[in-house]
Structure 1
Amino acid sequence: MGLFSRRTRSDEPASRPGGSGSSAPASGSAPGDATAWAPGGSTEAKLPPLTSSDAHWLRAHAVAAFARAGFVDPVAGDDHVRTAEGIYGLANLARVLPSYERSDWSALVDEHVHNLATARERTLPSSVDEVADQLVARVLSVLDLPHDDPAAGPRLGPDLVVRAAIDYPETIALLWDGAALGGWAVTGAPALAGLRRLPAPAYRHEEHDVHVFLADDFFGASRVLLLDDLLASVGAPAPTHGVLVAVPDRTCLLVHVPRDSTVVAAVQLMIGIARSRQSEPGPLSPHVYFRAQPGAELTPITRDTGSGVHVVVDGPFAEAMAALGLIG
């Protein structure tokens, strides 16, 4: 994977909340310079997994990079940079940086901001025909939405939605607004077609019959929209009692087809993997979901409690488990 691979591309919202305030651009030496950061130290709560000193460096270098790129009045917040043009998050950069050599960090931040500057100059196409071949369907957490417009795309579950995205070389432009290009009624079909055209994700078959799909793009988890075709492509049996899935982060999809008591261990494995991947760039959800049939919404079967993660067996999931003879 190259230094400036697709992994470092930026999410470009179609609209951003405005920001105000001013500050002189901060400056910072590249990580690895003893004046810029100190090794060790506690993890920064707002920008994990960076240490507090590394997080301070990231904020300062990002503000300087935004100023150099022509953004007006950049000011660092705990986990973002606010400019006159909008608010730009730093959380995914914080997750990406530790996987690279420290000597590369400055270039990675600069590249990220350059991509955002390029996106800022781009105007939204006037019709879907202009970008039909670039549209791709993407699954997102509702927590990442600036606002939830049902006309922009369907709900996949209580905490997950689907939106069309324009897959530019350097950025992903997400269509938040139902009015953009006619909304999902117009963009949905070409976006799903774009998802099908993407290269097949990497695949491995884990213990307890858990299927793991990993993609080197922003749409790995979004392949859940093509779930039945994906299972058929790896020779998995057609589901007869629903499917369990997890979408931990944007690159990863976990699947288990319940057939017998293996489902108990499979759920525990999926919970462990999903939780462990919440520190990856683009986290989506730590939960495991049940899909009763093709086209049905995903129902979470895990719940966080004060004593840990509990598996909730009710509704369609309970009916499937009863049909398998696993509960009375």
Structure 2
Amino acid sequence: MPTDESHFLTVGESQLRSLLGDHLLQRLQQDTEGKLHQRLFRCLRGAIIDGVIQPKTRLPASRDLASEIHVSRNTVLSAYEQLQAEGYLEARTGHGTWVAEKLPESFLNTQNKKKVVSSPNIQSSYALSQRGSNLLGYAAASPHQWGAFVPGAPDVTEFPHHIFSRIQARLSREPDINRLIYSNAGGCIELRSALADYLRVARSVQCDADQIIITEGIHQAIDLVSRALSDMGDKVWIEDPAYWGMRNTLRINGLDIQPMPVDAEGIIPEENPAVPPKLIFVTPSHQYPLGSHLSLDRRRQLIQIARQHNSWIV
């Protein structure tokens, strides 16, 4: 019988109890036939079969669940006992009640058949759009995002965990309702102010907090920039090679991507482009993934092209 925390849902037990209670109440309102313990049994069994409650998940204690869904404890116990008798639950004294790791074969087979029938394909009326289908064919991130020589991954062993924990603990003791509601649309104002101070010193960028927007990462940042500064079909210059995620984001926004070769001085711009770029994406400090530094001459060339054609350098 599993007893360690690795078999719990990612939400806490109290959250699981509340979420499960809400789900069961909805199912009970739809299932009105038979006695209450039979209806609860069917609702729990359906939640297990549908994957709402995963195998090896610890269920709430009968008293707690009874309180959540406003039924007697005996009703919950009867439903649990029937589920255990049919192989859906496992119980052991002192360890609680768990969803079985292997569910009854007949329902597994039914579930698998349903999956085969309901899975959308390219001919189905429920298929993805052409844009969505194309996106699935693009390069994607590796599931292995951490380790030696993995680009974009910092040395997490250097993170000041103890300092971070102390700050978190201090802030949690200072109740502030503003932390529990929507923040400023551009992101946390304190963080933006700190970034503005840092950029002035580290990058000689003269800006203030109102000119900084916090995003969830580079993909969202590129998506926002490309949608705000260009239209579908516009020409975009990117370095070749370049970060695959940027290429995907620009593609999904319908932009015409023109890869530009890179040498030891960085991107090699086209001097007299027949169709000028609306956006020019570069990584000047350390070209990704080759690591070259964009030379001063190349920077001047790009600025001249941008001024001449009203382009944006990103």
Instruction: State the TM-score, normalized to the length of structure 2.
Output: 0.23
Greater relative contact order (CA < 8 Å, ≥ 6 in sequence): 1
**Greater strand proportion:** 1
Instruction: State the TM-score, normalized to the length of structure 1.
Output: 0.22
Higher alpha-carbon Rg: 2
